[in-house]
Copies of this chain bind each other. A is one copy, B any other.
Amino acid sequence: MFSQKLNQAILDKNSRLCVGLDPRLNLIPSSILNKSIQQFGKTNQAAATAIFIFNKQVIDAVLPHAACVKLQSAFYEQFGSEGVKAFWNTAEYAKKLNLPVIADIKRGDIDSTATAYAEAYLGGGDLFGEKQTTPIDSITINPFLGEDSLEPFVKIAHETNKGLFILVKTSNPGSKDLQDLEINGQTVSQRIATYLSKQNTKLDEFGYGLIGAVVGATYPEHAKQLRQQMPTSIFLVPGIGAQGGDPTLLKNFFDKNGLGAVVNSSRGVVFSFEENDKRYLKKIAQAAQDTKELINKNL
Name A's B-contacting residues (CB within 8 A). 22, 25-26, 37, 42-44, 46-47, 72, 74-75, 77-82, 84-85, 87-88, 106-111, 113-114, 116-117, 119-121, 125-130, 142-149, 167, 170-179, 181-183, 188, 191-192
B84 & A120 in contact (Cβ 8 Å cutoff): no
A146 & B74 in contact (Cβ 8 Å cutoff): no
Residues on B with beta carbons closer than 8 Å to the beta carbon of A25: 127-128
Q: Which of B81, B114, B146, B182 contacts A82 (CB 8 A)?
A: B81
B80 & A116 in contact (Cβ 8 Å cutoff): no
Closest 8 CB pairs of A and B: A146-B174, A148-B174, A146-B177, A81-B85, A42-B128, A144-B144, A74-B116, A81-B84
19 A-B pairs whose Cβ atoms sit less than 8 Å apart in the complex = A74-B109, A74-B113, A78-B119, A78-B120, A79-B127, A81-B82, A81-B88, A106-B107, A142-B142, A142-B144, A143-B178, A144-B167, A146-B172, A146-B179, A177-B191, A178-B178, A178-B191, A181-B181, A181-B188
A120 & B171 in contact (Cβ 8 Å cutoff): no
A175 & B78 in contact (Cβ 8 Å cutoff): no
Residues on B with beta carbons closer than 8 Å to the beta carbon of A188: 178, 181, 188
Q: Which of B26, B127, B144, B178 contacts A47 (CB 8 A)?
A: B127
Residues on B with beta carbons closer than 8 Å to the beta carbon of A183: 181-183
Q: How far is the CB of A51 from chain B (nearest CB, A)?
A: 12
